[in-house]
Each structure stands twice: as C-alpha cells, then as structure tokens.
Amino acid sequence: MDQVVNRELLDKVIAISAKAGEAILDVYNASGELEVDTKADDSPVTAADLAAHKILAPALEQLLEGVPVLSEEGKMPGYDIRSQWQRYWIIDPLDGTKEFIRRNGEFTVNVALIENGEPVLGVVHVPVLNITYAGAKSLGAIKQDASGEKTIAVRAMQPRLDSGDAIEVVASRSHGAGAVDALLERIEGSLGETGLKNMGSSLKLCLVAEGAADLYPRLALTCEWDTAAAQAVVEAAGGIVVDEAFNLLRYNQKDELLNPFFYVIGDQSFDWKSLLLG
C-alpha cells in the first residue's frame, strides 16, 4: 500500500487543500455578518466549513480509488464499518472554526491519509497566510509560502540548553490553560526559562515541525481530524506525537473519535518522558 505515498500524491493533496482554502476565504472576506450554526455537539459550523468539505471529499475520493473519506462535516460511519478500514482519508475542512469566527486568521485545512492507524501523509494549509505545511512518512516535511518551498525539521534541545535559550512551548488559546501553566512551572524548575505561544488550530503542531517550538502539550480534548494531518507533518519532520503514557497517537482504534491528551515533541533524543511524567 505504501507505493502510492509519493511526491506526486502529496502535491495533488496540496493543490486540493489550497482550493478548499480559497472557498474558505470567499466566505471569510465577504462583507456582512458571518452566519454561525451550532452542531449537535454544540460546536460551531459556518458556510466555509461546508464549502471546504464539498471540495475536499469528492476530490479525495477520486484521488485514490476505494479509499473512504472521514470528514468532520460528513456522515459519520459507525465503528463496525470504520474498523474495517485499513486505509482512509481523514479531514477537517476548517480546523479552528472559532478562530475563523473571530477573524484572527489562525485556522487551517487539514487532510491526512491513515494506514493501519498511522498518519502517513498530511497537509495543513493556512488560507489567510497562503502557507502550506506538508509531509509524508517516506518523504520528509516541507513548508510552502510566498518565497517558495523549503524542507523543515524539528530542532534539537541541547544547543538551546547550552546557550540558555528559552524552551518554547506552544499551547491552545482556548483550552487546558490551568494544566499547561502547572506543566510550565515544572519545566522551568528543571530546564530554566520557558516561552509560551498561544495559538489556535493545528498550527501549533506545525510550529514544532518547523523548529519554531519545542513542545506542544495538549491537555484538553480534541478529535482525530484535528490532529492527524499535522501529526503526519511532525513525524515527517522528525518529531513524535504521544499520549500521556508516551504511546504514539494512533487513529481509528475505537468507537469514539476523541483523542487522549497528548504531547507533541520535537527532539526525540531529549528525555521529555522523565520530565513530563515525573
């Protein structure tokens, strides 16, 4: 199954994600009040979420024959059906709907390909900035912006510790602040100064992937479509995403689609486990 996870496939997913981003911007930049509806789980949804879904789902279905698409804005098959999927697309057409409504630009299009529970390809497109993070298990990770394309990778901890630089932690703007503050105190007690960046959507994982942050603790609930694409980018860039027991985060393993709390770690050679679980 791995043979189709190549640069050609990645480029096609990048193009599809950018097209979905254009549909989102059409709504974002329109004059007048944003219409916001509420879904059954009390989460917000807008015309932009639905417009992006209508572009992504059929395009991805055509990209790999017989590979289903699981979308936050689509029909949710039961686990009796999903458990039979060895390979599928998982998408969040607009990750960061609350950020979209606030019009702060911190929202993304997330597309991932899952194989046997592992995210093997991911694209995270940032419509407002026209930036795309992408990666695949066999290809490494890239960032595309107005200046072109460059390879990205996580950064090492030891040079920062040697030079006394702050350990950069990125966290959610909206969730789990108290638990993160307690964790920051523990890190500062062990390693010294920390810097905290608050941000919405899967951009937080991408900061770790490109070496702009060292750690992202997520000590609040997320869904699998929130993380899969960016996890693929992080892992392609040399990092890991682990649960609170330091097991790799995996997908489609249970009836519900909620993730456990997790940590996004850049430098795998640093002993984060002792520090975070101590």
As annotated, the binding site for Mg(2+) includes 72, 92, 94-95, 226
Q: Give the residue ranges of the annotated binding site for substrate.
A: 72, 94-97, 226
C-alpha pair distances (Å), 244 with each of 9, 70, 225, 247, 274: 33, 26, 19, 7, 12
How many other C-beta atoms are found inside a 10 Å radius of the C-beta of residue 41?
Answer: 6
Cβ neighbors of 95 (< 8 A, separation 6 or more) are 107, 108, 109, 110, 201, 202, 225, 226
- Tokens representing 166 are 């702050």
Question: Closest by alpha carbon to 244, among 257, 263, 269, 231?
Answer: 263
CA 32-38-41 angle, to 5 degrees, is 155
Burial class (CB in 10 A: 0-12, 13-18, 19+), 98: middle
Strand partners of residue 69? 89
- Both tokens of 270, joined, read 């640093």
| Binding site residue list | 72, 92, 94-97, 226
CB distance 158 to 174 below 8 Å = no
